[in-house]
Amino acid sequence: MSATPAAQTTDGARVVIKVVRYDPDKGAGMREQTWQIHPQPGMTVLDALIAVKEHHDGSLAFRCSCRMGVCGSCGMMVNGKPRLACNTQIIELGPVVEISALPNHDVIKDLVPDLASTFSKHRAVKPYVIRRDAAEMDKPTREFHQTPEDMLGYVQFSYCLKCSLCLAACPTEASTPAFLGPQALAQAYRYSADTRDEGLSDRAQTVDAWHGVFGCHLAGACSEACPKGVDPALGIQLLKRALLFGPPHRTAAPAVPALPEGFRSPGASSVLEPPAPTV
C-alpha cells in the first residue's frame, strides 16, 4: 500500500525504523538496528514496532497495553521527543523514525524503561485524599459532596497517566535524580487542591524542599511533553502558591490574583486527541 509523501523514502513507500537496543542479559552495550516497513494509513509508531516484532525480530522489547493513549505504558523517545508510541502517527515523522528508551530512567531492555523510581516518587507525595476525621473515615456516615466547580480546581491534573514522559523531558530530573519530578509534584497539587482533602501539611514534609517544588527551574519541558494536557509545570507553580498561602479551597482571600480561566504554561500541550483508527 502506498504511503503519503511525508512517509516516503527515495526508494518507494517505505519508512526506516531505527531502534536503539539494549539487552543486559547479553552483556553487550547499546546497539542500533534498523528495519524498513511499509506504512499503512493510520499506522502508529506502536503499530510499526508490533509489525517489526511479528515479522522481523520477536526479541524486540517494548511495553504497551491499551493502544489508545490511556494506560501510559508505551512512552519512548521518537525522533528526539518523548511520546506515546500508540498516539504518534508514522506518516507525520518523515522517512526515518529513530526510537530509543526514555532518558532519565534505567533501561530494562530495548525500549522498556524502569518506572520504579517514577512510581516511588508518586507514592512519596501521598496521592490520595487525606482527612483528619479518622472516626468518620473508619465508619462513614455521609458522603463528601463536591460541586462541579470544586472539581474544576483539580480535574486537569487528575488526567495523569503516569507515563513518565514529563520526567524524561525534565532537565532537572536529568541532573538531579533525587528531584521529585513533575509527575509527583503535579499530583501533590491535584490532591491538595481537592476540596475533600486536608493533607497539604502532610505532603509539605516531602514537597516543600530543595528536591521538591524548589528543584523546578520552570523550564516547561514537562508540560510540552505531556500527552494529556496535564500541564505539570503549572501544577508545580500552584503547589508553591498553596505551600505559601494554603490550598485554594481553604484560603479565604487569595493573596495573589487568580489565574485566568484556561491558563496554561507556555508550551503546554493540549489535551490528548484520540489516535486515528489503525488498520
Q: Which residues bind ligand SF4 (CB under 6 A)?
A: 72, 160-166, 182-183, 186, 225-226, 228, 230, 232
> In this structure, what is the dihedral angle of CA atoms 179, 229, 106, 114, given to the nearest 10 degrees?
110
Kindly tell me which residue out of 84, 111, 170, 234 binds ligand FES, with binding defined by CB under 6 A.
84
Smallest separation (angstroms) from ligand SF4 to the CB of 102: 11
> Would you say 7 or 115 has its CB closer to ligand SF4?
115
Which stretch, 59-67, 93-101, 132-140, 255-263, contacts ligand FES (CB under 6 A)?
59-67
Closest CA to 157 of 250, 232, 239: 232
**Residue of 59, 65, 201, 205 interacting with ligand FES (CB under 6 A):** 65
Q: According to the binding rule CB under 6 A, does residue 66 interact with ligand FES?
A: yes
Binding to ligand FES by residue 71, rule CB under 6 A?
yes
List of residues 6+ apart from 212 with CB closer than 8 A: 180, 185, 206
DSSP for 185-202, please give it: HHHHHHHHTSTT---HHH
Q: Which is nearer to ligand FES, 163 or 180 (CB)?
A: 163
Tell me how far apart the alpha carbons of residues 113 and 116 are, in angstroms, rounded to a whole number: 9
Least Å distance, CB 168 to ligand FES, is 14
Instruction: Find where cell 516518587 sits.
Output: 121
> CB under 5 to 8 A by kind: which of ligand FES, ligand SF4, none does 89 bind?
none
Residue 73 partner contact from ligand FES, ligand SF4, none using kind-dependent CB cut-offs of 5 to 8 Å: ligand FES
Size of the site for ligand FES (CB under 6 A): 12
CA distances, 207 to each of 114, 126, 227 (Å): 23, 10, 24
DSSP structure class, residue 98: E
Q: Which of 13, 51, 61, 70 is close enough to bind ligand FES by CB under 6 A?
A: 70
Return the DSSP state at 157: G
Nearer to ligand SF4, 37 or 165 (CB): 165
Query: What is the closest distance, in whole angstroms, from the C-beta atom of residue 271 to ligand SF4 in the complex?
Result: 11
Residue 73 near ligand FES by CB under 6 A: yes
What is the edge-to-edge ordering of all strands in the sheet holding 81-84? 31-37, 15-21, 96-100, 75-78, 81-84
Question: Rounded to the nearest whole angstrom, what is the least distance from the CB of residue 4 to ligand SF4 in the complex?
Answer: 28
Q: Does 273 bind ligand FES (CB under 6 A)?
A: no
Backbone φ, ψ for residue 22 (5° rounding)? -155, 125
Nearest alpha carbon to residue 134 among 204, 200, 198, 201: 198
For residue 228, the partner it binds in ligand FES, ligand SF4, none, with Cβ less than 5 to 8 A by kind, is ligand SF4
- In sign, the C-alpha dihedral spanning 260, 253, 231, 175 is positive
**Residue numbers at the binding site for ligand FES (CB under 6 A):** 64-67, 69-74, 84, 86
